[in-house]
Amino acid sequence: MISNPKQLAHAPITEVADLIKKKETSPVEVVDLILSRISELDSTINAYIHVFEDESRAAAKAAEAEIASGSYRGPLHGIPISIKDIYESGPTTCGSSSLVGYVAAEDCQSVANLKRAGAIVVGKAGTYEFAYGAPTLETHFPPTRNAWNQEFECGGSSSGTGGSIAAGLAYAGMGSCTGGSIRWPAQCCGHVGLKATYGRVSRRGVYPLSWSLDHTGPLARTVADAGHMLRGCAGYDPLDQASANVPVTDFNAKLGRDIKGMKIGLLRTIYEDNYEPGVKSAFDPAVQVFEKLGAEIVDIPTINLRQLIAIEFPNMWADAAAIHHRNLRTGGGDKYGRHTRGYMLWGLLMDSTAYLNSLRARAQVRDQLLDALTTQVDALLLPTVGFQTPRVLESDPGLGFLGGEFSFYTPIFNFTGLPAVSVPCGFDQDHMPVGLQIAGKPFDEATMLQVAYAYEQATEWHTMHPDI
Amino acid sequence: MESRDIVKAKLAEWGLSPSDADLDELAPAYETMLRWNKIVSDMLDSRPMTPGMEFPTSEPILIHDIARYR
């Protein structure tokens, strides 16, 4: 029951959409609420780089008139959302001072799709520089602070999108994910991050980090909200070479079905010798919840963390270097943050044989997981990441930041292209959120969300939000 | 040749001149990358043919082919 503006600001889309549909609230009221909260809170949270105040008020009035006339487009109609600032839509900086002043000529495909579904874009959300270089207190754009505790960051690289949802400054938003940048901020901010199958959502007009690893997709408060957002942004795009020509269906069609008798594969070899105590104490009991729901837990041996990192990061940095090296030579790169520039130089050191070997290893792991999903299990399960949410960085962390044994588990579903979703599963000893990730078969996001929803509804984590 | 010199030479091929501070970070990062390359090389699938010869049984992933696995 929503009884005050703060509750309304932190409500899931499904509840707000119901109120809008019943005309118990309106897009204008909801947009006014979110804009007033941005005005009040974002000077400390730093979720937004640009706010579309006039445009979103105009869109809200138009949505209100359309709904009043009986043309209700669906659950996103009149809902304020945030968009990571690497998506072309109005002013677009990619979190870099090198692009201050650039204004996109048109909306990128996925944003156009969302607007067509009725969503209202209230602003461009902060991001790691080019979805890559970590923001610090010294960088041009400051880090987004986490509403659960403002000494902590929101994860990255879709930090502003995650931070905007956690702080009640948007109901959902779009992130991008090359190694985990949708699921990690979702974990840090205590909500759901959905990376659909590679090719499900258009990447056109979204500044690339790695052509073969990049995914675009939503962050939202609940599994159902994430499913609605995915339906709003997904769709074949003939102008995106990686776009898959598959139908967009109701991704929430299986929500509410039980998971009794389903088999869920634990990828223990990736995490069990390296996840931190704060993650372990939340994740291990979560596995038992699946068993209580009637699912059978099955061990699926796969690669270890060292192999996962060794496949992902050189691949990503080499692609990023190919994308940015001309900027480094022609002067634009002079404005890049030191951290960003360092990774790009690192990527230039990768040789072609090693690069092709990493692509071979990706195919092997993909085939291994596909085999498990075809013959042994219905879904895969592991923690989202193995480390607790870090504090806001004061200065450049250097290249060692990702160079060591970094317990980052999300990339396995980037370099295999499988769909994966992060769902809250508790809190660590700093009272920061912890998440688990569930992966499924290509283009069967509905079954994956069925499993995620069953867990979500059996726990209370999705009902909690920061007191802000 | 030391890692620092290799890094300098490789970046020069791209028309870039790293500073000493860049090299301080990039030399150990390059060595990390070499370790990763060895890890990946060691995990690649193949089948034996004659002593010392093997047939690679995996190919590089293609970025546009996942729809075939539906």
Is residue B18 within 8 Å of B7, Cβ to Cβ? yes
Q: pLDDT higher for A173 or A334?
A: A173
Residues ≥6 apart with Cβ < 8 Å to B38: none
Band (pLDDT 50/70/90 cuts) for residue A396 is confident
From chain A, the residues in CB contact with B45 under 8 A are: 360, 364
Give the residue from A346, A402, A405 with the most B CB atoms within 10 Å of its CB, the best one to mutate: A346
Of the ranges A23-27, A135-139, A142-146, A289-293, which one carries the lowest mean pLDDT score?
A: A135-139
From chain B, the residues in CB contact with A199 under 8 A are: 64, 66-67
pLDDT of residue A317: 92
> How far A181 CA sits from the closest chain B CA (Å)?
19
Residue A260 designated active-site: no
In single-letter form, the type of residue at position A39 comes to S
Is residue A458 within 8 Å of A264, Cβ to Cβ? no
Residue A181 designated active-site: yes
From chain B, the residues in CB contact with A359 under 8 A are: 60-61
Percent of chain A with pLDDT over 70: 99
Which residues are bridge partners to A219 per DSSP? A173, A193
Tell me the HSE value of A135 on the side-chain side, using a 13 A CA sphere: 30
Is residue A435 within 8 Å of A452, Cβ to Cβ? no
pLDDT of residue B66: 64
Q: pLDDT higher for A5 or A134?
A: A5
> How far B50 CA sits from the closest chain A CA (Å)?
22
Burial level of A232, CB count in 10 A (0-12/13-18/19+)?
buried
pLDDT digits (tens, 9 = 90+) for A422-435: 999 999 999 999 99
From chain B, the residues in CB contact with A198 under 8 A are: 63, 66
Q: Active-site residue among A82, A96, A98, A157?
A: A157
Structure tokens at A52: 């579309």
Percent of chain B with pLDDT over 70: 89
Nearest to B33 by CA among A131, A319, A318, A212: A318
pLDDT digits (tens, 9 = 90+) for A239-264: 998 999 999 999 999 999 999 999 99
The dihedral through the CA atoms of B63, B65, B67, B70 has a sign that is negative
CB contact under 8 A, B63 and A211: yes
Whole-model pTM: value is: 0.97
At residue B62, φ and ψ (nearest 5 deg) are: -105, 140
CB contact under 8 A, B43 and A303: yes
pLDDT mean over A445-466: 98
Q: What is the CB neighbour count within 10 angstroms for residue A280?
A: 16
pLDDT mean over A9-26: 97
Residue B63, pLDDT > 80, answer no
Structure tokens at A171: 């109901």
Residue A270, pLDDT > 80, answer yes
Is residue A51 within 8 Å of A122, Cβ to Cβ? yes
Mark A147-183 as b/e (b = at least 16 C-beta within 10 Å). Answer: bbebebbbbbbbbbbbbbbbbbbbbbbbbbbbbbbbb
> How far A344 CA sits from the closest chain B CA (Å)?
10
Nearest CB to A403 within list B32, B45, B61: B32
- The helix (H) or strand (E) run that includes residue A230 is helix A223-233
Alpha-carbon distance A228 to A131, whole Å? 24
Question: Average pLDDT over chain A, rounded to whole?
Answer: 96
pLDDT of residue A400: 73
Nearest CB to A357 within list B22, B41, B67: B41
CA distances, B13 to each of A325, A352, A365, A416 (Å): 12, 14, 33, 32
pLDDT digits (tens, 9 = 90+) for A82-96: 999 999 999 999 999
pLDDT of residue A388: 95
> How far B51 CA sits from the closest chain A CA (Å)?
22
Percent of chain A with pLDDT over 90: 92
pLDDT digits (tens, 9 = 90+) for A147-189: 999 999 999 999 999 999 999 999 999 999 999 999 999 999 9
ipTM of model over 0.95: no
From chain A, the residues in CB contact with B32 under 8 A are: 403-404
Residues ≥6 apart with Cβ < 8 Å to A183: A177, A193, A195, A384, A385, A410, A420, A421, A422, A435, A437
> How far A120 CA sits from the closest chain B CA (Å)?
31
H helical segments located in A104-221: 109-116, 159-166, 183-189
- Strand A433-439 to strand A379-383: parallel, antiparallel, or no bridges (unpaired)? antiparallel
CB contact under 8 A, B33 and A359: no
Residue with tokens 């790293």: B18
Band (pLDDT 50/70/90 cuts) for residue A339 is confident
Helix B20-42 to helix A352-375 angle (10° resolution) is 50
Give the count of Cβ contacts less than 8 A between chain A and B: 124
pLDDT mean over A340-353: 93
Which residues are bridge partners to A120 per DSSP? A80
CB contact under 8 A, A306 and B16: no
At residue A232, φ and ψ (nearest 5 deg) are: -70, -35
pLDDT digits (tens, 9 = 90+) for B49-59: 888 888 889 98
From chain B, the residues in CB contact with A442 under 8 A are: 66-67, 69-70
CB contact under 8 A, A241 and B64: yes
Alpha-carbon distance A456 to A462, whole Å? 7
CB contact under 8 A, A443 and B60: no
Nearest to A216 by CA among A191, A198, A240, A231: A198
pLDDT digits (tens, 9 = 90+) for A369-380: 999 999 999 999
pLDDT of residue A453: 98
Residue A157 designated active-site: yes
CB contact under 8 A, B37 and A310: yes
Residue B68, pLDDT > 70, answer no
pLDDT mean over B14-20: 93
Residue A335, pLDDT > 80, answer yes
pLDDT digits (tens, 9 = 90+) for A30-50: 999 999 999 999 999 999 999
Three-state SS for A386-450 is CCCCCECCCCCCCCHHHHCCCCECCHHHHHCCCCEEEEEEEECCCCCEEEEEEECCCCCHHHHHH
Nearest CB to A361 within list B40, B63, B69: B40
